[in-house]
Amino acid sequence: MPQDVSPLKSTLLTAAHRALGAAMGPFAGYDMPIHYADGVLKETLWTRQSCGLFDVSHMGTALVMVGKASGDDQADHRAVSAMIEPLICGDIAALKPGKLRYSLLLNDGGGIDDDLIVGRVPDSPGVLYVVVNAGNKDADFARIGDAVAAKGGQFKPFQDWALLALQGPKAVQVLSGIVPGVEHLGFMETGRFTTDEGILIISRCGYTGEDGLEILAWPTLAKPLWDRLLANESVKPIGLGARDALRLEAGLPLHGHDIDGDISPVEADLAFALSPRRRKAGDFPGAAVILNQLDQGPPRIRVGLRVDGAPAREGAVILGPDGSNIGVVSSGAYSPTLRRPIAMGLVPPHFAEPETQLGVIVRERVQTALVTTLPFVPHTYVRKPIA
């Protein structure tokens, strides 16, 4: 089979990463920083105790908009929601201004073609903000764009913008010194902020399990904002190696590894993403398969594993108590925070109870793997009190 020899794409900050001595590597077709001088372990711990700055500009960001605003805010929001809802399982019509929702792009077999964030842009009733994974960006954008165009809407990707993730307990404190007002955002809220340099779209979210923010910046703002954030002694640049360690510790699935087009939301333990209204209506792709699994139970389910010995990497065989092959590891690594190997994988439901003793094959040797509840490391999201 011929190998893809296409040149790697760059982000607006690729030169900045190299200037900082980053170890670069390919990810989703981009040349990305894997780690800096401190290494993955120290970068993971720094993010948990202070504030890490990630370049995630390789991800896909876009706007979904009505073709022509009617002037009726509720009607415009219903219209733009109806453009994307047939592709996903979230209740976007009920999304309030300034709120984000985690959802799943599904196929007719009930599998997860991608997971994504959909947000309702404040003061823009006929506009939705969408963030998809880097590896699926082209396919996702083509599918969403076609669906939107078919209903007379507009789909506008943010070409060459920068997306920065500022993550960790000091993230909000750091950014509020540059962009006053971000401290008022709660978890899964977004806003448009005007600075001296220009407009930023800032969301209080991330994929590390820590409190944090994602900042979408106009191309000319990318490097100045990057430099300004790094000038704060609480902030260090962090590579994708630590980001992967953090999301694994947080028990968050990675598309193409823990979830894919053959794995359903029920199997992935992501049924919370199926909004009640959509479940009742059964009006999302693969609804028959997914609703049946909710009623009868899935054939397998994603679990966390505490592994003894060497780390069990993706593809390692998972063994049942009797030594039979019951699944494979989908993500696995050494946890810098817990100082032990951890992993996730899909196993039959009767092996999914916490404290069930399973095995994994690592370097042709069987090691103990104990089923554990997820996340491995508790999330520290900051949620607003319910009014």
- Pairing verdict, β 51-55 and 235-237: parallel
Would you tell me the crossing angle of helices 73-84 and 137-150 to the nearest 10 degrees? 130
Residue type, 271: A
**Residue 88: beta bridge partners?**
105
| 245 in the same domain as 171 | yes
pLDDT at site 44: 98
| 71 in the same domain as 22 | no
Read off φ and ψ for residue 191, nearest 5 degrees: -155, 160
| 228 in the same domain as 94 | no
**Could you say which of 218, 249, 280 is where a domain stops?**
249
* CATH number of the domain residue 138 falls in: 3.30.70.1400
97 lies in a domain? yes
| 168 in the same domain as 25 | yes
| 71 in the same domain as 38 | no
Helices (H), 102-188: 137-150, 171-176
Q: Count structural domains, the chain.
A: 3
270 lies in a domain? no
Tracing tokens 């893809």 back to the chain, one arrives at 4
pLDDT at site 69: 87
pLDDT at site 2: 46
4 lies in a domain? no
Residue 38 Cα distances to 20, 44, 169, 236, angstroms: 11, 10, 20, 10
Enter the tokens of residue 322.
Answer: 């009797």
**What is the CB neighbour count within 10 angstroms for residue 313?**
14
Range of the structural domain that residue 353 is part of = 300-372
| 109 in the same domain as 29 | no
| 64 in the same domain as 53 | no
- Pairing verdict, β 51-55 and 127-132: unpaired
Enter the tokens of residue 163.
Answer: 């997306």
Residue type, 339: R
pLDDT at site 1: 44
| 174 in the same domain as 317 | no
Enter the tokens of residue 11.
Answer: 């982000």
**Could you say which of 157, 182, 217 is where a domain stops?**
157
pLDDT at site 196: 75
| 305 in the same domain as 170 | no
pLDDT at site 350: 97
Residue type, 369: A
The set of residues, in sequence order, having a beta carbon less than 8 Å from that of 2 and lying 6+ positions away, is none
pLDDT at site 121: 85
| 331 in the same domain as 192 | no
286 lies in a domain? no
| 346 in the same domain as 198 | no
pLDDT at site 386: 56
Note down pLDDT in tens along the chain; length 387 residues. 445 557 999 999 999 999 999 999 999 999 999 999 999 999 999 999 999 999 999 999 999 999 988 889 999 999 999 999 999 999 999 999 999 999 999 999 999 999 999 999 888 899 999 999 999 999 999 999 999 999 999 999 999 899 999 999 999 999 999 999 999 999 999 999 988 778 899 999 999 999 999 999 999 999 999 999 999 999 999 999 999 999 999 999 999 999 999 999 999 999 999 999 999 999 999 999 999 999 999 999 999 999 999 999 999 999 999 999 999 999 999 999 999 999 999 999 999 999 999 999 999 999 999 999 999 999 999 987 654
* CATH number of the domain residue 333 falls in: 2.40.30.110
257 lies in a domain? no
pLDDT at site 55: 98
| 329 in the same domain as 356 | yes
304 lies in a domain? yes
275 lies in a domain? no
* CATH number of the domain residue 49 falls in: 3.30.1360.120
258 lies in a domain? no
